Amino acid sequence: MKPLEMTKISITAPKNQLRPVVEGLYELQLMDIEDHEGDVIESGKPFEEAEQLSETIVDIRSLISKLPEQDKQSTQTKDIGQVQNKATELEERVENIQKKIDRLSNQSEKLDDRIKTLEKLKGIDLNYEDLSGTKNLGAVAGDLDTEKLNKECSEDDYKLFKGKKSKVAVYRKEKDVEEAVNSCVESRISLPELDYEGPIEGLIDKKKEEKQKVEDQIREKEDELENISREWRGSLVKAEEFLSQKVEKAEAPINFGTTENAFIAKGWIPSEKLDELKEKMCDITDGKIYIEEEEGENPPVKHDNPSIVQPFEPLTDLMSVPKYNEVDPSFIILLTFPALFGFMIGDAGYGLTSLLVFAAGYKFLPSAQKIFQSLMYASIFTIIFGLAFGDAFGYVIFGPKHNALYALTGLEFLKEIPILFHRAEHLGQVLPVAVGFGVFHINMGYLVGFYNEYTNHGFIEAFLEKGSWVMLEISALAAYLYGAVVGAPLGLISLALLYKGEGIEGIVEIPSLIANILSYLRVFGVSIAAVALAKVVNGLAAPAFNSGTALGLAAGTAILIFGHTFNTFIKILEGFLQGIRLHYVEMFGKFYEGGGKKYAPFGATSN
């Protein structure tokens, strides 16, 4: 139940053994190396190849990020040396292509703008060069107020050309005419300066052609990039992995202390592995090594649970990594979380669908496999509770009353199968279960807290800090059952104990105990919502089914499928969040400190 026992060791060896020791430790993946501290002995320097390796790795990483991802990889992979040699050259090549693509995209965007501007002039029967005017004639293109123009100028002074989206006025270049025309312009199209003579339509086609060419060029360059990617990407990714390992090894001595002729490395290993490590390291260095156990503070934390509890470890870590000397609460989450989730959703149908969702998550999201495994436990409990309540997708399937499955199949035995109680009708029974579970859950928290205090500070401390709370609860119960005569003195004693144990903070916290227990009413709330949501979907589908037509049947089925799929996800969300919250806040609050440092052995990150 507690994290794995750790031992601090120091490894001392002559400097010529540095490389074998680093290699050995990397391979063993056992030692969580601590940073070297202290001024007497200097920190070590990385191996001389570290700098170069780091540079290459930066190149390779940037290359990988620039190359498009590939489904089909070249089957022949290059060896590391080849990749290392080629990396810089490739980087340059890719950079060049990228630059060209950027330039071409820029060009294409500009052309796009032009085409858009020119398209506004479509339908105007003029040559492009006319639009910039001549010595004696001015021209303006854009939105023109033609009525105003008509009033302001005489017809001899201008001529109007109409296009689909704009107009062009060509006018005599005289001051008053120019002013009059300009006052009628609502928005002006500013014409790009182009070396072109001829009709506007032709110009648009020409620009479109130009754009097509640029696009083709871009595609060509992208194909080139694609080809490089196909040939190199796979090898690059592999090389990156390999070199990362090398860099990690090369930089390991930074955390060692070194003198002229020797070095010392300190760190933590699981106690049970100490002999294995000693033996291996002696083998590697031909005995030229000295390994000593040390006293140390703040050991890293590695969960140590049987395989059934392991899926729940990430849920503990999500809250906070446990401290080294406290109980690892993963097993408590196993004990109560799936059951709580199952009770809240309590529907065999949703149990199955959520199981499918989690199984899919387990398969397709390998990084979160453990969490999905723990959620699958929760789904199984949902099915169990669903069967106990006789609910599936909001329909009653077992028991004598409103048995939908019996109505459908006519099988008598379905009525005989007993159910716990019918949740939709007996909400009153969910309430005490919820509160009762809350009292149980919170007291379990106090018990674990008691154990933590007991192992770390002794019985008296544990009783004052955690036992006093339980006693307070008992005195409240006694006051309820036997009257204030019994309850009050007991309560006063526990208050005194509590004050001695936790100080004034403890007294102030008392109302929060009530709030915490009441918080379990959410189990009741979510339960109602779970039943009601399912019934709503069924209720929506019912009229469609009752219509008896083929269309009604199809519509009803569609509503059911959509509604219950939606509900599945809502229920997963509710069940998970509310369930885990009751653990994190209400229960963990009673004992959990957290804030431990996770055990990260040297070499294990590469996997």
Partner 1 sequence: MAIEGMAAIGAAAAVSLTAIATAYTQAKIGAAGVGALAEDGDFGNILILTVIPETMVIFGLVVALIITGFI
Binding footprint of partner 1 on the chain (CB under 8 A): 318-320, 427-428, 431, 515, 518-519, 521-522, 525, 581, 584-585, 589, 594
Tell me whether residue 166 or residue 578 sits nearer to partner 1 (CB atom): 578
Cβ closer to partner 1: 123 or 589? 589
CA–centroid distance for 21 within its chain: 38
Phi, psi of 507, deg, nearest 5: -65, -45
**Shortest Cβ 256–partner 1 spacing (Å):** 28
Question: Of 147 and 505, which has the nearer Cβ to partner 1?
Answer: 505
Cβ-based nearer residue to partner 1, 81 or 428: 428
Give φ, ψ of 310 to 5 degrees: -55, -40
Distance CA 446, CA 266 (A): 37
| Residue 384 and residue 342 in contact, taking contact as beta carbons nearer than 8 Å | yes
For residue 45, the Cα-to-chain-centroid distance in whole angstroms is: 37
CB of 479 to partner 1, least distance (A): 19
b/e string for 438-456 if b means 16 or more Cβ within 10 A?
Answer: beebbbbbbbbbbbbbbee
CB of 599 to partner 1, least distance (A): 18
CA distance 2 to 536: 46
| CA of residue 32 relative to chain centroid, distance | 27
**Least distance in Å: CB of 58 to partner 1?**
23
Which residue lies nearer to partner 1 by CB, 64 or 431?
A: 431
Minimum CB distance to partner 1, residue 450 (Å): 22
Rounded to whole angstroms, how far apart are CA atoms 275 and 546?
A: 74
SS3 label, residue 304? coil
Q: What is the smallest separation between the CB atom of 213 and partner 1, expressed in angstroms?
A: 45
Least distance (Å) from partner 1 to the CB of residue 368? Answer: 14
Q: How far apart are CA 105 and CA 215, in angstroms?
A: 8
**Cα distances (Å, whole numbers) of residue 441 to 140, 246, 340, 437:** 82, 49, 10, 6
**388, 429 in Cβ contact below 8 A?**
no
> Which residue lies nearer to partner 1 by CB, 258 or 316?
316
Q: Are 20 and 285 in contact (CB under 8 A)?
A: yes
Q: How far is the CB of 435 from partner 1 (least distance, A)?
A: 9
In whole angstroms, how close is the CB of 516 to partner 1 at the nearest point?
A: 9
State which residue, 308 or 585, has the beta carbon closest to partner 1: 585
| Minimal distance, residue 529 CB to partner 1, in Å | 11
Q: Provide, rounded to whole angstroms, the least separation between the CB of residue 515 and partner 1.
A: 5
Query: What are the DSSP calls for 99-154, one per residue?
Result: HHHHHHHHHHHHHHHHHHHHHHTTT--SBGGGGG--SSEEEEEEEE-HHHHHHHS-
Instruction: With H, G, I as helix, E, B as strand and everything else as coil, classify residue 34.
Output: coil
Q: For partner 1, give the closer residue by CB, 152 or 509.
A: 509
Nearer to partner 1, 421 or 463 (CB): 421
Q: 3-state DSSP helix/strand/coil percent for the chain, to nearest 5?
A: 65, 10, 25
The H or E element spanning position 187 is: strand 185-188
DSSP state for residue 467 in the 8-state scheme: I
Tokens 């609860």 found at: 473
Transcribe 320-359 into DSSP letters. -PPPTTS--THHHHHHHHHHHHHHHH--HHHHHHHHHHHH
The string of DSSP letters for 275-299 reads HHHHHHHHHHHTT--EEEEE--SS-
146 versus 512: smaller Cβ distance to partner 1: 512
CB of 333 to partner 1, least distance (A): 13
The least distance separating partner 1 from the CB of residue 577, rounded to whole angstroms, comes to 9
Distance CA 27, CA 43 (A): 23
Measured from the CB of residue 497, what is the shortest distance to partner 1 in angstroms?
A: 27
Compare residues 361 and 589 and give the one whose CB is closer to partner 1: 589
Token readout for 322 is 């446990």
Which of residues 407 and 508 has its CB atom nearest to partner 1 in the complex? 508
Of 244, 264, 248, the residue nearest 17 (C-alpha): 264
Q: Which is nearer to partner 1, 191 or 435 (CB)?
A: 435
Of the two residues 380 and 439, which places its CB atom closer to partner 1 in the complex?
439
Q: Which two tokens stand for residue 435?
A: 């509160």
